[in-house]
Structure 1
Amino acid sequence: MPLDLYAGIPVTDYAAALKWYERLLGSPPTFVASDTEAVWELAEHRSLFIEQLPERAGHALHTIFVDDFDELVAEITERGIEPAERETYSNGVRKAIYRDPDGNEIGFGGAPL
């Protein structure tokens, strides 16, 4: 079954969120859909977007699994964003949780060491 993912994050202040997500994700958006919506293609047919929707902001929960967890967390730290939390599950899977200015949660997960 082919799979496409278009995961949304509602934000209060588009301009501020755009800057924060550029730092978190390490690049400008892949494209800007409108004056209040920006999209990052994380992998083919798998995108994350922010949209100014103040009444819904702060409730997103997304986890993205990556191949090189430690490298990604180090790169994000170099860009000035620290994880709000770190978790290690009983099976050894690790997760770094980031929260944007609205409180939306974006986690990055990685396989055990």
Structure 2
Amino acid sequence: MSFTHVLAVAPVTEMEVSMAWYERLLGRPPDKRPMPGLADWHIAPSGWVSVLRSPEHAGSTLLNLVVDDLDKAIADLAEWGITAGKIQPGSQNVRFAAVRDPDGNRVTLIENPVS
């Protein structure tokens, strides 16, 4: 079996509030609004982040995003009103920090992931 895309879905309660937050996190409006209650950001050629109105599942997602420079990413987010948690060290020079969307879905920014 082969796959062509990865779609990470963050379920939320309020689309407009969450879309505004993800626009700040990802630095731009969604690329597509394929239907009511769904917004897609194409963050890599085959990787998308989707926000889906699904109140019964909101707050349960763990999303990891790899960044080139964690310190810069955290500084940029702070300018956009998003506060990251403390930077945590991992093994082999990996560092990460998490933010939470308005529903509590956790987005972890990771620098230098182990390949």
Instruction: Tell me what 1:95 maps to.
Output: 96
1:23 counterpart SS class: helix
Sequence identity (%):
36
Task: Give the CA deviation at 1:70.
Answer: 2.2
Instruction: Tell me what 2:39 maps to.
Output: 38
Task: Give the CA deviation at 1:83.
Answer: 0.6
Q: 1:95 to 1:3 in 2, by over 3 A?
A: farther
> Which amino acid in the other structure matches residue 111 of structure 2?
G
Query: TM-score, structure 2 length as denominator?
Result: 0.88
Instruction: Tell me what 2:74 maps to.
Output: 73
Task: Give the CA deviation at 1:3.
Answer: 4.5
Deviations 1:45-95 (A, max 9, x none): 110000000001100001111222222222111111111343111433111
> Which amino acid in the other structure matches residue 105 of structure 2?
N
Does the alignment pair 1:12 with 2:18? no
1:50 counterpart SS class: strand
Q: 1:104 to 1:32 in 2, by over 3 A?
A: same
Task: Give the CA deviation at 1:34.
Answer: 1.4
Task: Give the CA deviation at 1:36.
Answer: 0.7
> Which amino acid in the other structure matches residue 109 of structure 1?
I
- How far apart are the structure 1 equivalents of 2:63 and 2:31? 19
Q: Return 63-72 or 98-107, whichever deviates more.
A: 63-72
Name structure 1 gaps, 5 residues minimum. none
> Which amino acid in the other structure matches residue 59 of structure 1?
S
Task: Give the CA deviation at 1:21.
Answer: 0.7
Query: TM-score, structure 1 length as denominator?
Result: 0.90
